[in-house]
A and B are shown apart, each in its own frame.
Chain A
Amino acid sequence: MKVVEINDVFKTYHDTEVEVKAVNGVTLSFEKGDFAVIVGPSGSGKTTLLNLIGGLDQPTAGEIIVAGHRLSELKPSELIDFRMEHVGFVFQSYNLIPVLTASENVGFIMSLQKWPKEKRMARTGELLEAVGLSDRHSSRPAQLSGGQQQRVAVARALAPRPQFILADEPTANLDTKSAETLLDIMEKLNRGEEMTFIFSTHDARVVKRARRVITLEDGKVVSDERTNHTS
């Protein structure tokens, strides 16, 4: 089942007098349960493509359909609701809310969606356990290591059961052990919850685990390979 369809998408920026084609005619699709990475050198358009898929940015041309929604047809306010309902984000710098505990951060989107408290608490507990932080419910982000914060961020992204997770350089700030732990957790969740993960990364540790590797250069897909990794 296709979760994301990208049809001949362009994204052009006008930087003073120079026109920059960050995404240049990309056509791709992602299936439910994909564990895919987008790789490429800096400036190849990885993050821009991720932003377009996540509805954070609008393409200059082309069409993106996510979970049956044509993103170009959605108003800005509808795009925010779309992101809340269908997309989970994991950022390079974790981006947790510093005044909330780990548990509150994980439950944040669910509370925006007005989940009943009991259901929210149960889901939060389940996810914190899944990311190995069941003993850190009450810890604030500042009390957690980088790896632990990123695990909380993954739990937050997964909490409202989105269609897929977009992870932009999720391991860039982590040491090897933390990165491996995080990737183990994501792979487990990918299999256990059949959650689709789409990464943008430079990190070979992530590429090594991926079952699909899409390479971008100058905004174009130069290769799209499925691997035999079974983890």
Chain B
Amino acid sequence: MITSIAWKNVWRNRTRSLTVIAAVTVGVFAGVFAMAAINSSIVQRIDAAVNEELSHIQVNNPGFRGSSDIANVIAEPEKVVSVLEETPGVTHITERIIVRGIASTSAGSAGVEITGIDVEKEQQMFTLKERLIPGTGSYFGTDTRLNSAFIGEKLAKELYIIRYILTEESFTALEAEDVPAAVVEKLRPLENQRFTAEKKLSEACSGLLTEKEGKLYGMRIKEAAWSYREGSKVILTFLDANGTQTGAAFRISGIFRTNNDFFEAFSVFVPHDELLRLTGMEEGQYHRIIARLEDDDLTDKASASVKEALPGLEVMSWKQIQTDLAMIADYVNQIYGIFMVLILAALAFGIVNTMLMAVLERTRELGMLSAIGMNRRRVFSMIMLESIFLSIVGGFAGMAVSAIVIAITNHTGINLVKYSEGLEAFGYSAHLYPTIGADFFIMLTVMIVITGIVAAIYPARKALQLNPVEALRGE
């Protein structure tokens, strides 16, 4: 009966209750959606780090990461593979040869890390192939007389392999991308001119377009002008196993685009056998052995187990390699909590105000309830329940709206391409796909109930302080 009365009391003053419920709904939605967006950024970064760059566990010669010395190979790689194979949760294993060197073209050069990979195994472990920019190659698929290399877009730009040319096709593409015909016409003087860098294209465009047009259509113009001549070559130079400088020309078999500028600028992947031959290393020598797990949650346990089994080697999980990322993930979890507590605390004041008004308006009724035998515990419970109902209705509405908006934006994405340079410099995507775990909603439900309880304490105490005689007289 108390629960029923409390629920009915919530709706006695519909306008007031709906106002508070709306405030709670908006507050919860704002908090949940903001966190889902932030969370997506972290989740996407971790996914990219694990699926494209690091995988879950890496085993190195202890001196290799510090020196990158080609001689620091893993002793007894068969034993490492055997330990990894026996580790619960490990699904894939691959070995790598890694050397530091220089990548150069006739127009530019850059320091790089050249990784010799087993193409078949790597395709099973990593999703980097999916990051191949269409039209730039086929990820080691093309037969060629030359060695082949898979490089990042950032490196390709530094080596001036990527050019910017506005052709008739580019103009058609721009119009298809909803760039106004007048803007396209303004760009006509640049037709078929070749620009070796984005910056040079931007400078040329700024002379023809207004500042607003440049901001609005700049990214689309760059995309349309992006040009790559298939089959471009790059010279890779490095020290071989004897410490002698060596190198070879590599045909670019594909360019990948990720959200991590550093990874794109520094990574060159070549077939293991080619690098083995060029470095003069012996068959079966590796610098790094990588394992993938069936579930990211197994990382800490599996990593510790491998570490124990391989005491002489450096065993690291992705969390230990990318400590900043692991730290941010933990930090964000704490920020979630603080953020929601602040939002709910602000909402609690609204609920306190509403409940206080409700109690003061019902002084006489509360006096009557006490007079006819409703004890203090029941009065307290009734006020508490009213407050909890207000919080829960608003909270659930907020969570429902959040879930719907998150589901939609998770499908469509949120385009932050305007900030892509800054975000991608730190490895974060400019396209967010908001996501948040079910466990967060469970935690939030508990927090909302607590908010309702806390918000009811003061009004409920006020109700308990009422003297029935005075309350009945005070009409």
Chain A residues with Cβ below 8 Å from B372 are 83-84, 89, 108-109, 156-157
Chain B residues with Cβ below 8 Å from A111 are 1
Chain A residues with Cβ below 8 Å from B8 are 99-100
Per-residue 0/1 for B2-24: is the Cβ within 8 Å of any A Cβ (1 yes, 0 no)? 00010011011000000000000
CA A231 – CA B372 in complex, angstroms?
29
- CB within 8 Å of A: which of B359-394? 364-365, 368-376, 378
B469 contacts partner chain A, Cβ-Cβ < 8 Å: yes
Chain A residues with Cβ below 8 Å from B475 are 93
CA A99 – CA B7 in complex, angstroms?
10
B468 contacts partner chain A, Cβ-Cβ < 8 Å: yes
CA A165 – CA B365 in complex, angstroms?
19
**Contact across chains for A84 and B472 when beta carbons are under 8 A apart:** no
- Among A54, A95, A100, the one with the most B-chain Cβ atoms within 10 Å of its Cβ is A95
Chain B residues with Cβ below 8 Å from A99 are 5, 8-9, 11-12
A144 contacts partner chain B, Cβ-Cβ < 8 Å: no
**Contact across chains for B376 and A56 when beta carbons are under 8 A apart:** no
CA A80 – CA B1 in complex, angstroms?
18
- CB within 8 Å of B: which of A32-85? 51, 54, 56-57, 77, 80-81, 83-85
CA A56 – CA B469 in complex, angstroms?
6
- Among A80, A81, A95, A157, the one with the most B-chain Cβ atoms within 10 Å of its Cβ is A80
User: Given contacts A81-B373, A99-B5, A99-B12, is CB(A112)–CB(B378) below 8 Å?
Assistant: yes
Per-residue 0/1 for A79-113: is the Cβ within 8 Å of any B Cβ (1 yes, 0 no)? 01101110001010101011110001000110110
**Contact across chains for A83 and B373 when beta carbons are under 8 A apart:** yes
Chain B residues with Cβ below 8 Å from A108 are 1, 372
Number of A-B contacts (CB under 8 A): 59
Can you name the residue of chain A whose Cβ is closest to the Cβ of B10? A99
**Contact across chains for A57 and B9 when beta carbons are under 8 A apart:** no
Measured CB to CB, the closest approach of chain B to A64, in angstroms, equals 15
| B contact residues, total (Cβ < 8 Å) | 22
User: Given contacts A57-B469, A91-B368, A99-B12, is CB(A81)–CB(B375) below 8 Å?
Assistant: yes
**Contact across chains for A95 and B469 when beta carbons are under 8 A apart:** no
User: Given contacts A99-B5, A99-B8, A108-B1, is CB(A91)–CB(B472) below 8 Å?
Assistant: yes
CA A89 – CA B12 in complex, angstroms?
25
CA A100 – CA B368 in complex, angstroms?
14
CA A93 – CA B469 in complex, angstroms?
14
CA A6 – CA B415 in complex, angstroms?
82
**Contact across chains for B376 and A89 when beta carbons are under 8 A apart:** no
Chain B residues with Cβ below 8 Å from A91 are 368, 472
**Contact across chains for A80 and B364 when beta carbons are under 8 A apart:** no
CA A59 – CA B338 in complex, angstroms?
53
CA A83 – CA B8 in complex, angstroms?
25
**Contact across chains for A77 and B375 when beta carbons are under 8 A apart:** yes
Can you name the residue of chain A whose Cβ is closest to the Cβ of B11? A99
Determine chain A's interface SS by DSSP, over half rule. Answer: helix
CA A81 – CA B475 in complex, angstroms?
25
**Contact across chains for B371 and A100 when beta carbons are under 8 A apart:** no
CA A231 – CA B430 in complex, angstroms?
90
Q: Which of B368, B373, B468, B469 contacts A85 (CB 8 A)?
A: B373
CA A152 – CA B365 in complex, angstroms?
16
CA A100 – CA B372 in complex, angstroms?
16
CA A95 – CA B363 in complex, angstroms?
11
CA A111 – CA B3 in complex, angstroms?
12
Chain A residues with Cβ below 8 Å from B375 are 77, 80-81, 84
- CB within 8 Å of A: which of B444-475? 468-469, 472, 475
Q: Which of B5, B373, B472 contacts A97 (CB 8 A)?
A: B5
Measured CB to CB, the closest approach of chain A to B16, in angstroms, equals 15
Chain A residues with Cβ below 8 Å from B472 are 56, 91, 95
**Contact across chains for B5 and A89 when beta carbons are under 8 A apart:** no
**Contact across chains for B365 and A97 when beta carbons are under 8 A apart:** yes
CA A156 – CA B469 in complex, angstroms?
19
Chain A residues with Cβ below 8 Å from B370 are 80
Chain A residues with Cβ below 8 Å from B1 are 104, 108, 111-112
- CB within 8 Å of A: which of B1-59? 1, 5, 8-9, 11-12
Can you name the residue of chain A whose Cβ is closest to the Cβ of B370? A80
User: Given contacts A93-B475, A95-B365, is CB(A109)–CB(B373) below 8 Å?
Assistant: yes
**Contact across chains for A56 and B12 when beta carbons are under 8 A apart:** no
- Among B5, B370, B373, the one with the most A-chain Cβ atoms within 10 Å of its Cβ is B373
**Contact across chains for B364 and A51 when beta carbons are under 8 A apart:** no
Q: Which of A80, A95, A98, A104 contacts B376 (CB 8 A)?
A: A80
**Contact across chains for B368 and A95 when beta carbons are under 8 A apart:** yes
CA A97 – CA B1 in complex, angstroms?
12
CA A57 – CA B472 in complex, angstroms?
12
CA A54 – CA B365 in complex, angstroms?
17
Measured CB to CB, the closest approach of chain B to A7, in angstroms, equals 21
CA A24 – CA B156 in complex, angstroms?
104
CA A80 – CA B373 in complex, angstroms?
5
Chain B residues with Cβ below 8 Å from A93 are 364, 475
Chain B residues with Cβ below 8 Å from A89 are 368, 371-372
Other contacts beyond A95-B365, A104-B1, A112-B373: 7, CB < 8 A:
A80-B376, A85-B373, A89-B368, A97-B5, A99-B12, A111-B1, A112-B378
30 A–B contact pairs at CB < 8 A?
Answer: A51-B469, A54-B371, A56-B371, A56-B469, A56-B472, A57-B469, A77-B375, A77-B376, A80-B370, A80-B375, A81-B373, A83-B372, A84-B372, A84-B374, A84-B375, A85-B373, A91-B472, A93-B364, A95-B364, A95-B368, A97-B5, A97-B369, A98-B365, A99-B5, A99-B8, A99-B12, A100-B5, A108-B1, A108-B372, A112-B378
Q: Which residues from chain B sit less than 8 Å from chain A, CB to CB?
A: 1, 5, 8-9, 11-12, 364-365, 368-376, 378, 468-469, 472, 475
Q: Which 4 A-B pairs have the closest CB atoms?
A: A84-B373, A99-B8, A95-B368, A111-B1
